[in-house]
Amino acid sequence: MRLLPRISVLFETAVRMALHDRMKLAGALLGVVFATFLGGQQLGIFLGLVQKNTLLADGVKADIWIAPKNTRQAEASTTLPERSVFLARTTPGVAWADPLLFQTGTLVTDNGTAEPVRILGFDASTGRGGPWNVTAGDPALLRNPGTLFLDTIDRKRHGGTNLGSVREVMGHQMQVVGFTSGLQPFGPTFAFTDFDEALRLFSRTDRNPHFVLVGVEPGADTAAVVAALQAALPDSDVMTGAEYHDRIVNYLLTETQIGVSFGTSTVFGLIVGFVIVGLTMFSGVVDNLREFGMLKAIGATTFDLALVLMLQAAGYAIAGSGIGLLLVGGLAAGIRSPALVVILPPWLIFGAPVLMLTVCISASFLALLRIRGLEPAMVFR
């Protein structure tokens, strides 16, 4: 119980000292706010980009994906042989296997403007790999020839499309029978049509899909099915949906400049925050050296004074990251559009204060070293 008043008075001292020098308080907070804001918005935009790139892998409900060898992005660079579908269907543990065509095509608006669309050709008879986030129309209508689903994001760009609108896609007249919402990967929006229709649109003479979607039988071991499929299709990549997602993220992080660019900005923000907070706290200790010396002289220990610094650092971290996150949230809401989504997941919101706490406490070590070497006798000089 004797410890409580001691901690209480050290807490009060820490708060009052921090609030007393408004300029230093503003400086320290600015450092944390800057680090949180820069890091938060960079991570948020990066996560938005990741979400766009993994839209297909996350949206299509399949236990297992079969893709051409070395597929690392959302879009496959080549196609699989048609027999992949049949081989998959005959593999033990497989409940179903359907082809998926994924290719960029063009849609011509009423005024003749050509707009790119990402055409997803799926087996409309089963509906697997078909549209999600449906806002209008019935995906079953895609069993009819010459039909497609577009996304509401590009309604204006596609010339003000409505249900029943007819647009020329890859030289073929296609009727819009439904809409999805928000299905815009990194690039043009998705357009769903039947697999056979997609083959027709691209004038394909083969029936080779870009992917084969696989469902696992209830109770079957997914890993064992993946292994069996990989053995049956050695020239393909077989992976679970989560593995496909991770493969795309890994590609973005390691083989494009995106990861380096966003990572550098985030680390830069943290370094700047660290330096500003560190220097501000050190300067605060130097300015209040006699006060700290007096505290030592009247019996406060180095641990007590370290606690004062830690409490101040924690205060800067919590208040600064709170303000920083509010700003990032405001920015995310302000710039949110189908083309640019800033994602702030709970781990980022709760992780930012923890990270800032680590940064601020680390930054206070310089000040702590100064206090540790402080002789209480200095107050008599």
Partner 1 sequence: MNAIVARNLTKRYGEGENAFLALRGVDLTVPTGEVLFVTGPSGSGKTTLLSILGCVLSPTDGTAQVLGLDVAGLREGRLAPFRRASIGFIFQGHNLIASQDAIGNVRLPLMLNGVGSAEATRRAVAELEAVGLGDKTMRLPRDLSGGQRQRVAIARATVGRPPLILADEPTASLDAKSGREVMELLTRLARERGTTVLVVTHDNRIFPYADRVVAIEDGQLVQEAA
Is there binding between residue 298 and partner 1 (CB under 8 A)?
yes
C-alpha span between 89 and 210 (Å, rounded): 16
User: 82-120 burial by CB neighbour count: b if 16+ within 10 A, else e?
Assistant: eebbebbeebebbebbbbbbbbebbbbbeeeeebebbbb
Min CB(10)–partner 1 separation in Å: 8
**Binding-residue total with partner 1 (CB under 8 A):** 34
Smaller CB separation from partner 1, 24 or 157? 24
Residue written as tokens 């007590």?
304
Q: Choose the binding region for partner 1 from 5-13, 22-30, 247-255, 342-350 (rule: CB under 8 A).
A: 5-13
Answer for which of 139, 178, 293, 324 binds partner 1 (CB under 8 A) is 293
> Binders of partner 1 among 303-342, rule CB under 8 A?
304
Token pair listed for 34: 């800057």
Nearer to partner 1, 294 or 335 (CB): 294
- Residue 320 CB neighbour total at 10 angstroms: 28
Q: How far is the CB of 296 from partner 1 (least distance, A)?
A: 8
Interior angle at CA 373, CA 369 and CA 375, nearest 5: 145
User: How far apart are the C-alpha atoms of 204 and 170, rounded to whole Å?
Assistant: 12
Q: Per CB under 8 A, which region of 13-21, 177-185, 249-257, 313-321 contacts partner 1? A: 13-21
Binding-site member from 249, 272, 294, 318 for partner 1 (CB under 8 A): 294
Binding of partner 1 by 23 (CB under 8 A): no
Q: Does 297 participate in binding partner 1 (rule CB under 8 A)?
A: yes
Nearer to partner 1, 290 or 336 (CB): 290
Instruction: Count other Cβ atoms within 10 Å, centred on residue 338.
Output: 15
Q: Does 363 bind partner 1 (CB under 8 A)?
A: no
How far, in Å, CA of 247 to CA of 74, rounded?
Answer: 9
* Interaction of residue 22 with partner 1, rule CB under 8 A: no
Q: Does 27 bind partner 1 (CB under 8 A)?
A: no
The answer to whether 3 contacts partner 1 (rule: CB under 8 A) is yes
Residues 53, 55: Cα–Cα separation, whole Å: 6
Q: Are residues 195 and 99 in contact, defined by beta-carbon separation less than 8 angstroms?
A: yes
- Under the rule (CB under 8 A), what is the footprint of partner 1? 1-6, 8-9, 12-13, 16-17, 19-20, 288, 290-291, 293-302, 304, 375-377, 379-381
